[in-house]
Each structure stands twice: as structure tokens, then as C-alpha cells.
Structure 1
Amino acid sequence: MPIYGYLCTSCGPFESWATLARSEEPCTCPSCGAQGRREVALPHLAMMNASLRSALDRSEKSSAEPKVVNKKHLAGCGCPLCKMGPKGNQTRKKWSIGH
């Protein structure tokens, strides 16, 4: 259940939990008992970390139509794809008894 912001004419703003089906209905003020109308809430984007905000923007853009990226790997870049390449000779020396 989401939390919605309401405005009481005598007490001011307050918040209350409501189901989506009851989201448009007025809510009873916890202080005075009067009916308060729902306010439109704005997102707190200014409070968000800049790196988190850019990550959310990127994920929102790619949710409808992912962008195809062709990236060339540099020698020794260390990415997981380059680490999966062919491995060198892995010779294991067996222990010899008596030498």
C-alpha cells in the first residue's frame, strides 16, 4: 500500500496509507477528524545522489528499447569477457618420490 499526502484545511498537511482503489478518496485527518483532500506529490529528485539519479535515468531509457552497444576491448582491459579468453598452458608438475 502506498503512502499519500493529504491536506486538512484546519491542521495542514498529513500523510496516510491507502490502497490504490481508495487513492482518490478524501482521508480523515488524524488530529481533528475532518476530511482532507489528496495532494499531488512531487518526486524528491534534488535530494537524490547524482550518480543514483543518472543510473535511474539510464535504466528508464533502456527499459522500453535497449540500446545496442558495440565496444572494442583494449588489450588487458580486465573485463570479464576478456578474462574468459583462451588460457595458457597449465602444466602441473607431479611430485616425484625418491629424487
Structure 2
Amino acid sequence: MPLYNYVCDDCGPFDEWVSMADATKACACPGCSELSQRDVASPQLSLMNGTLRRALARSEKSGTEPKVVKKAHLAGCGCGICKVGKKGPSTRHKWMIGH
């Protein structure tokens, strides 16, 4: 849940943790309980490094509409998922060499 800035007409600015789905709704002021509108604030993304900025954008995007993905692996990647169901050659009939 992100932290949003709100401005109360009587008490002034305050911050509140609100889900992204409810971000456009008014929030009750903690001091006087009056409904307050969200304040426009810049997230200062230019101060973040590129990796952090992309991770933040990915998490914001998937917060309300998660992307459905299919797990595909490269041949011989060695992960636990790829090893499930793949068995080596059977050693059960080794005694039947040449038959």
C-alpha cells in the first residue's frame, strides 16, 4: 500500500496509507474526521536508479491487475521445476544387455 498525501481544509496536510484501488477516494482527516482530497505530489522518480524505478513501476502495475504468465524454461536450466517429472534412464533392466 502506498503512502498518499492529503490536505484537510481545517487541519492542513497529512499522510495516509491507502490501497491503490481507493487512491482516488477522499480520506478522513485523523484530526477532525472531515473528508479530505488527495494532494498532488511528485514521486521524484528521477532520484531513483533505473533498476529501482523499473521494479517500482512493475509493482505498481501489477497491484490492481496482475499479469498472468506461463513459466517457460530453457533446456537444461537446472531449476527445481524443470527437474520435476524428468527422470534419467531406467536401470531396472540392466541385466538384459543384448536381449
TM-score, length-normalised on structure 2?
A: 0.45
Q: Answer with 1 or 2: which has the greater Rg.
A: 1
Bigger helix fraction: 2
Q: What is the TM-score when the length of structure 1 is the normalising length? A: 0.45
